[in-house]
Amino acid sequence: MCCRIDIIRSVFHLTILLTNINIKRKLRDWTLCDAMESIDTICDNLEAAFADQKDDPLSLVTIIEMYSDQVESEGKEEEKEKYLEKLSELLVAHPDVVAQIGWDLPKGLLNFYVSPNLFPYRRLRSNKIVVGVMNCFQEIAVQGNPKECLLTGCQLLSELTMEHISQELVEIEKRDSAHKEVLESFKDFTSPAELILGLKSHVLFELIQTVLRRIETLYPSKFLGMAVSVICKFLRSNMDEVDNTAFFLRRIFAFCRNYAPKEVSDDAADLKELGSKEVDKIKEDEAILQGKLLRNLCTFAVGFCMKRKHLRHDVQYYGSFSDVKTEKHPYYEELFEACSRFYQLAYSFDIDLREEFLSVIKGSRDIYKSLPPDSEISSDEARRGIGQVVYQLSHTYHLQKMAKATELELDPFGIVVLSGLNYLVTGKHLYPEIKLQDAIYLYIRFATPSLFTDLYFNEAAEEISRYWLWVAITNSGYKELKGQLVEMPSYINAVLLQMLLLRNCEQANEQSRMVTFTLLTRLLCLMPEETTFSFSLDTLLTCPYVKPKICMLGIMKDLMLRSCQCKRDLAAQLMDLKLKDNDSVTDSQKIASQGSPPPLPQRAFLSLNEDRMACIHSVALMAVDKASKEERQKEDLLLLLNYLNFFNALRNKWDKNLLKSIHLEIAAHFNDGTEEKLPEIGFIKVANDTLGNNL
């Protein structure tokens, strides 16, 4: 209670001070009309003001702000350096003055962090303007009133956004066209807006972190809670725009690791009316609450900062059991180094990652547990309707959970990210016995909400959920996996396959696309054959995008050409969807030596029959019709070309009459008389001629 009163008093005091300062600023604007004095004169006047106005803090603050604004806007580089050096010296020499006015100086000092004062080819440590501002902040943090400085730091950090900084840069460029070249030169290294955001947030983080250690109170969690809330708001406002995520992860890691409340002295005001048992109970409760706050910040930060980043967990794990070499890049090395600190931090905060991850898995299953089994669904239309509900459930769940939250909980996105980091740090799976069903629910939970709001988009969580799908597939037997998929509701399987297919088409990295493509293919191999074909046909018929259709044709071609042996273990059987000849011969020899009958001929993962060929023939004719129209798009031609490649690859298994029908239909629209406005038209002619020659 005492702490709240202190805060209210501080806010009231701030309001009065700000009102008085605004009045004085108006007076200053009316009287200040001349150009800037020499920097030596300004420094002398500033020194005199510290001596003469130490008993009038409002006047002193006004003088400092007046000179700071003037020097920043009108001064040359050397003049700004000299002014900040002088101000820092005066703050060091007058700690009693800093205790009174320190809270009001940070905003003016941050104004020096603008692009004209930053130089792209100079290290920040050698930039005296940057260092001068940091030195001033250091004195304010050490000598200023800690509670008032905390309020100031939190307010400034909560208002700090990339969007606002970018707007300021545009205004500077309009006023000074020559500055455009300076901004362009920054882009070789980093975004100027991000550099400024990093500098301003760095000094504010240091300010908040330092003053928290100086506040003497029996209730430190109230002040820590204020800081944690502001840091979370800062992340929500900026992480979507930030490229150098590692920098901000390091700032938050340092905040969490170095936090330590000040010990309350025996004569503190908070202790006067309390007994020793009450004090001990309060301290115990406060320690628990502070721990919850720090654990919450730790998991939220690593989860949210990584929402548009990834460490390619699925690719790296796939590379561990295949001949695919994973690419290494300094960017990923730096990001991994920053994230791995949070992995260590989680354990130092006594977070049981395995138990927390198991809780996330259970929560993921619970989201979908009320959905009906396939046996209770009466029609395909009802099944499609339930499928749409599946897409929405996770988003609705997260919104309701956020609205009903009554206590601090660990961030589930952060827990998933940490579960993946466990593999990258230790080389071991946090939960190697994960079931495929659990991995599917986990993936759907963290992949679908982004379809409805960007707030829950998290690339890292999706990627790590795919990694867990791989773990489940490679650590279980073939029959067990097929059995688990048979038990899953068909609409859940459909949503899983649709999300993997759509996300794969959006991935920019070729290696990531290949690995996800392989994952999707393996899952289709494990699904009941009718489910696999229905999903493939439905994609070709109803998907509004061409890329997934092209991807699906490639997968179908593989499944119809590749052979499977149901008795082999999946990890060996589907390593790269290729049968190993030596293994096959060895198995046959073993069977023969035991006097067993010869093995049955191998069959394709997806077999062909008249009905299936007729269905694909029909959708192919639809693609021909669309590609032959005048308003056709390039992607329509690409789809038709992929259909031709599909038929050419399967010509020995396909009905010859159907192939002839397709060939003649395409030849009627794409022949020697067709103008080749796009190169794809020429490719279609060649592919169709190849098909005709093989009939």
Q: Which residues, other chains included, contact 458 with Cβ-Cβ below 8 Å and sequence gap of 6+?
A: 303, 304, 306, 307, 413, 446, 450
Is residue 663 within 8 Å of residue 687, measured between CB atoms? no
- CA 292, distance to chain mean position in Å, is 23
Tell me the two tokens of residue 86: 């002088």
**Domain presence at residue 270:** no
For 145, the 3-state DSSP assignment is coil
Determine how many CB atoms are found less than 10 A away from the CB of residue 335.
21
Residues 362 and 415 in one domain: yes
Tokens encoding 101? 């006015």
Domain's final residue, options 250, 274, 290: 250
| 222 shares its domain with 325 | no
CB atoms within 10 A of CB 221: 20
Same domain flag for 423 and 513: yes
0.75 exceeded by the pTM? yes
At 435, list the tokens: 């079931």
Instruction: Tell me, yes or no, whether 656 lies in a domain.
Output: yes
**Could you tell me if 629 and 541 lie in one domain?**
no
Whether residues 323 and 175 share a domain: the answer is no
How far CA 470 is from CA of 353, 434, 464, 555, 638, in Å, comes to 20, 10, 10, 18, 31
| Exposure b/e, 36-75, CB count within 10 A at least 16 = b | eeebeebbeebeebbeebeeebbbbbbbbbbbbebbbeeb
Exposure on the CB side of residue 635, measured as CA atoms within 13 A: 8
Query: C-alpha distances in angstroms, 299 versus 253, 306, 402, 431, 469?
Result: 11, 11, 16, 19, 22
CB 461 within 8 A of CB 553: no
Closest CA to 104 of 158, 134, 140: 140
Smallest Cα–Cα separation from 501: which of 461, 545, 459?
A: 545
Nearest Cα to Cα of residue 470 among 513, 518, 424: 518
Q: Is residue 201 located within the same domain as residue 332?
A: no
Check whether residue 215 and residue 336 sit in a common domain: no
- Residue-number span of the structural domain to which 567 is assigned: 313-580
Number of residues in the chain: 695
Alpha carbon distances (Å) from 412 to 347, 363, 419, 446: 16, 10, 10, 9
Of 169, 166, 168, 82, which is closest to residue 131 (Cα–Cα)?
A: 82
Overall number of domains in the chain? 3
229 and 108 in a single domain? The answer is yes
Tell me which of 222, 250, 278 is where a domain ends. Answer: 250
What is the structure's pLDDT at 177?
Answer: 64
Any domain includes 266? no
Q: Is residue 255 in some structural domain?
A: no
- Torsional sign, CA 647, 648, 653, 659: positive
Alpha-carbon gap, residue 85 to 89, rounded angstroms = 6
**What is the SS3 assignment for 339?**
helix
Exposed, middle or buried, 187 (CB in 10 Å: 0-12/13-18/19+)?
Answer: exposed
Q: Does one domain contain both 538 and 616?
A: no
In a domain, 297, yes or no: no
Residues 531 and 633 in one domain: no
Residue 35 DSSP code: P
Q: Is residue 260 part of a domain?
A: no
Of 558, 580, 602, the last residue of a domain is 580
Is there a domain that residue 474 lies in? yes
Asked if 504 and 648 sit in the same domain, the reply is: no
The reported pLDDT for the residue numbered 627 is: 93
Same domain, 575 and 631: no
| Domain membership flag for residue 406 | yes
Residues with pLDDT less than 70, the chain:
1-35, 120-121, 176-189, 266-272, 564-601
